[in-house]
Amino acid sequence: MWFKSPNRLTLNSSDIHLWKQHLKVSDSEVNRYFEILDREEKIKAKKFCFEEHQRRFIVARGALKIILSRYLNIPASTVEFTYSLRGKPKLTNKLGGDKLQFNLSHSHELAIYGVTYNHVIGVDLEYIRSVSEAKKLAKRFFCSREYNHISLLTPPTLEKTFFKLWTAKEAYLKAIGEGIGRGLDQVEVSLDSFPKFLKLPNNQSLLNWNISFLIPHSNYQGAVVFHTNKWKLSYWTV
């Protein structure tokens, strides 16, 4: 499902491009990504206490700049961001601002990115692992119908379903520029054959909000959420 990207990238109004990047790379690759970062990003990278966390940040952020540079046809090191009050990055106005939309997420040793044009988008990724408190967490943070569904499950279906719901909810909250502090129980997800939202915060309209689940690598669960009534998904590797 994941393919090497074409040399020439095109992005029309219905395209949703998903990318994945493995974060465990050679030291020389880490150094290459580090040189792409701006001064503030380099300072942030050096503040990580653990080498693996520093490496993951450097590679994930460097890969993001490489991806966006290919759409913008500029050097990766010249890609610049501004940030919302909650820390969501977007391109500066001189680079297109709200036109080229993107979002990223990384977990363990993998990162995913979503890129689209003129549509709100959010992505989330989780490394699937045993969660002994999955049912208690679902009861506390999920909607009642979601909890009722999860309460009947046993591992490994329990963990897979838990992370499906979690990633869809978080991807939506990231799409609208909010964190999980907004309330996971304010977003209700149906896991029928065609996943969809059943409830959004403040009774927001469900119209044109879409969810697509993805498994970019074994033991990972991801979700992409976007707001458009017409779309085509493509899956690329950096």
Mean pLDDT over each residue of the chain, to the nearest integer: 94
Encoding tokens for residue 133?
Answer: 């408190």
The backbone torsions φ and ψ at residue 211, rounded to the nearest 5 degrees and listed phi first, read -120, 140
Amino acid identity of residue 14, one-letter, is: S
Which range in 43-52, 88-97, 129-138 is most confidently predicted, on average pLDDT? 43-52
Is the distance from CB of 9 to CB of 70 less than 8 angstroms? yes
Residues 37 and 16: their CA atoms lie apart, in Å, by 25
Specify the CATH number for the domain of residue 55.
Answer: 3.90.470.20
Q: Which pLDDT value is given to residue 22?
A: 97
pLDDT at 191: 86
Res 181: pLDDT: 67
pLDDT attached to residue 132: 87
* pTM strictly above 0.85: yes
pLDDT of residue 182: 67
Higher pLDDT, 8 or 77: 77
pLDDT beyond 70 at 152:
yes
Q: Buried b vs exposed e over 183-198: b needs ≥16 C-beta within 10 Å?
A: ebbbbbbbbeeebebe
Separation CA 86–CA 89 (nearest Å): 9
Structural domain for 105, as ranges:
3-237
pLDDT digits (tens, 9 = 90+) for 163-218: 999 999 999 999 998 876 668 999 999 988 889 999 999 889 999 999 999 999 99
CA pair distance 168, 176, nearest whole angstrom: 13
Q: Domain count of the chain?
A: 1
- Count how many Cα atoms sit within 13 Å of the Cα of residue 162 in the half-sphere of its side chain: 26
Say how far apart CA 92 and CA 79 lie, in whole Å.
9
Residue 145: predicted pLDDT: 95
In this predicted structure, the answer to whether residue 86 has a pLDDT above a threshold of 90 is no
